[in-house]
Structure 1
Amino acid sequence: MEKSFLILATLLGLVSVAVATAGTATFYNQYTPSACYGNVNEGTMIAAASDALWNNGAVCGKKYTVKCTGPTNPGIPQPCTGKTVTVKIVDHCPGCQGTLVKKILE
């Protein structure tokens, strides 16, 4: 019985669980100084966290894979490509709606 439990526990440890949350992204150009890194340029694949994720800055440096799934403003050209990108949290956007609030792309 112990051996069966150990095998089951080992197999469950190998399973990766991914959690997806729908949210809204918005965009703005300037991000320095950022709440996480001050005036250090962290590149272009970056994001700011809303209050829901911020957790007193504990989210700084964490990376998220995001995918644009559709437009929020019909009639306006949309950047959605159907592909995923990985962004790094470098800033906080207090009061902003959504989960990941800004994404700056090259």
Structure 2
Amino acid sequence: MSTVKIYSTALIIATILLSLGLEALSNNGIGTINDPPYTPSACYGFEDKGVMIAAANEDLWDGGAVCGKYFQVTCTGGTNLGTPHPCTHTPTVTVMITDFCPPPGCQGDLDLAHEAFSTIADPAAGGIKISFQE
């Protein structure tokens, strides 16, 4: 086998393995919409952290260890028949975790600020399927 074929094969295998590894780092869940005001928050009290923020559900909260971490959130589809295709042409946004979304009120994994949610989906959807990663 020629050196070029070996390198080409190795490159293809590496690309496949890398893409599988990155997919494994993503979580799937539900994103919901949170309307202002966004303060006080469980992480920062009355300190304003902007509008590209989110609250984490109990599973992600980890006793507050998730405060200040950034998550890349991608809209992957609708959760109801009312808005079957809610994702926008910009389906990914980066948000900082600033708050806790406790049960039973929390209906998703990440409760996105209205501005962050509307960047990736139609706000009328209220909730969307998402993939997210730190």
Common fold, TM-score beyond 0.5? yes
Match of 1:70 among 66, 77, 97: 77
* 4+ residue runs over 6 A deviation: none
Native 8 Å contact 1:66 1:87 kept in 2: yes
| Identity of matched residues, % | 52
- Corresponding residue for 2:60? 53
TM-score, scaled relative to structure 1? 0.74
Native 8 Å contact 1:45 1:105 kept in 2: yes
User: Which one has the bigger helix percentage?
Assistant: 2
Native 8 Å contact 1:35 1:90 kept in 2: yes
- Corresponding residue for 2:111? 101
RMSD: 2.3
Distance 1:69 1:61, change over 3 A: same
Structure 1 unaligned spans of 5+: 1-14
Native 8 Å contact 2:77 2:84 kept in 1: no
Match of 1:24 among 22, 30, 55: 30
1:35 and 2:55 aligned? no
Residue 59 of structure 1: how far off its partner (Å): 0.3
- The 2-side partners of 1:89 and 1:97 are apart by 16
- Corresponding residue for 2:121? none
Q: Which moved more, 1:27-36 or 1:93-102?
A: 93-102
User: Which one has the bigger strand percentage?
Assistant: 2
Q: SS in structure 1 opposite 2:77?
A: coil
Q: How many residues are matched?
A: 92
